[in-house]
Structure 1
Amino acid sequence: MDLDKRKMGLIRHGGHEPTEIQPGCLIGFYFAAHWVPTARNFLSKLIAAYTAINSSSKKFEIIFVSFDRNEDTFEAFSQEMPWLIVPYKNETLRIGLAKKFQISDSFHLVITTPLWKVISQNAIEDVKCKAAQSFDFWESISSNVKSYEESPYCEKGHLMGFIDQTFKKRCAYCKSEIIKGWTCLECKMSTCTICQEFYSNSASDEEFKLQCLHSHQMRHASKMNEYYMSRFLNSKYTCRTCNQLPDGNGLHCFSCIFDMCFVCAKIAYEKKLKKRCEKGHEITWTHELCAKIQEKFGKCEFRCEICGESYMGGGGYACQACEYYVCIPCVRKT
């Protein structure tokens, strides 16, 4: 998507104002159609807010992106709009903008910084409740968004919008109250800026494809010591499968705050234990071992039959039928 507004071919009815976005303006991408009753009813409120916000100086621009079914209804619906408009015939741009902001319905208002970093993924309620005062709220959080190169994406790939403490949300990862963070309207989940940055810098585990004790897919993560220090004021964390302090790199489950070092991950992925239980059953890697034990006995840990050490919250090699368990450090020695 070309971010050069001069090349977008935008139009404005009346021809009295320029068809370029003035530098520094916050931008509202208004996705709507005449056939949507709520969009028709909302238009007068949006025009009033737009006019009031720009009464003293130009600081807010709107770009209308039509979902109308034909050009006649598009012309009729957009005729009274005082802002910029994507020409109906430029279907490529209209579809491109809808895809960029992941618009899934025909009535949406996305607020961004001048560089298209998302401030609010759906600001319709802001305008309905606060009218022109919505701009003060958008402007107050835009400075926080500017420090990010791009608005982040959630686990399912949806574009997230910025939030602050007024939203009264808790981080889906560290469970703390969010002072500054991001939210996904599609998934109804929010994250603090620290956890979201850590997540954005991680990568899907295509090498081992291992899961945590609650069967969530883990991700490759680095600088975990720094994350734990910034989030929990303690740089030390433990690999759940060997009870050792890793070097800051490994696999991490964001939902459970579950960690596994790469040494253990490689063993769990590659090594088939030749040892069998006392009844001759095969012993296999079981990522959800502690979860199964907790479900049955109420205690999220197991004791290794070889070394006698206890391991809490992690996986191990097991014969479920005989309740015979072996830890990864002992497997490493075989």
Structure 2
Amino acid sequence: TVMDILKGRKVINKRGDVIKADEILRETDVLGYFFSAHWCPPCRKFTPVLRDFHKELKHCQVPFEIIFVSLDRSPEDMMKYMHESHGNWYAVPWSDSLGKSLQDQYSVNGIPSLIVVKKNGKIVSRDGRGEVQRLGAQIFKVWNR
């Protein structure tokens, strides 16, 4: 399940603070894994859309969170990208093997990609990006069924 994959793991926020993934999951019913990189133009175009979507859901106190999995070329590129255009969500530390494990587990072979999963591990969308772009915040009701 999502809990098992993230159990005992740590994520970071934009400021570089380290947070236990377990703590985030306590407040979350639906999780979006955002696979992206600064060097990718479609990623840079979608990230502000995702930021606004995330902000709207957070404003409505919806139990949704995003974990960014960077495919950037360096930790500096990753942090620059996060500061430039990301929302107030979390990220797998650049050097952590968890990023590659998640990429393999969800068979991510193109970016940007938003894989949406329930807390129990069930994948509710492999096309989170397209759904967010087409339906905006309304899509959360479908994801959280």
Provide the TM-score with structure 1 as the length reference: 0.39
SS at match of 1:105: coil
Count of matched residue pairs: 138
Structure 1 residue 18: Cα displacement:
7.4
Cα deviation per residue 1:157-214 (whole Å; 9 max; x = unaligned)?
xxxxxxxxxxxxxxxxxxxxxxxxxxxxxxxxxxxxxxxxxxxxxxxxxxxxxxxxxx
- 1:85 maps to 2:86: no
Alignment of 1:179-194 (within 5 A): none
Residue 12 (str. 1) matches residue 17 (str. 2)? no
2:10 match: secondary structure = coil
Q: Name structure 1 gaps, 5 residues minimum.
A: 141-334
Partner of 1:71: 75
Say which of 52, 55, 69 aligns to 1:51: 55
Report the secondary structure of 1:35's partner residue.
coil
What residue in structure 1 maps to residue 24 of structure 2?
Answer: 21
Residue 108 of structure 2 corresponds to 103
- How far the C-alpha of 1:5 sits from its partner, in A, is 3.1
Say if 1:18 and 1:96 are closer, same or farther in 2 by CA, change over 3 A. Answer: closer
Segments of 4+ moved more than 4 angstroms: none
Kept in 2, the 8 Å contact 1:28–1:112? The answer is yes
Q: Give the residue type in structure 2 aligned to 1:31.
A: F
Task: State the alpha-carbon separation in 1 of the partners of residues 50 and 93 from structure 2.
Answer: 20
Which residue number corresponds to residue 235 of structure 1? Answer: none
- After TM superposition, list the pairs within 5 Å mapping 1:156-305 onto structure 2: none
* Distance in structure 2 (CA, Å) of the matches to 1:97 and 1:22: 16
Q: Is the 8 A contact 1:5 1:21 kept in 2?
A: no
Answer 1 or 2: higher relative contact order, Cα 8 Å, separation at least 6.
2
CA apart distance, 1:122: 1.8
1:28 deviates by: 0.3
Bigger radius of gyration among the two:
1
Residues in 1 aligned to 2:13 and 2:50: alpha-carbon distance in whole angstroms:
16
* Residue number in structure 2 paired with 1:132: 137
Q: Is the 8 A contact 1:27 1:116 kept in 2?
A: no
Question: How many Å separate the matches in 2 of 1:73 and 1:88?
Answer: 10
Contact 1:26 1:61 in 2 (8 A): yes
Gaps of 5+ in 2: none
- The amino acid that maps onto 2:45 is N
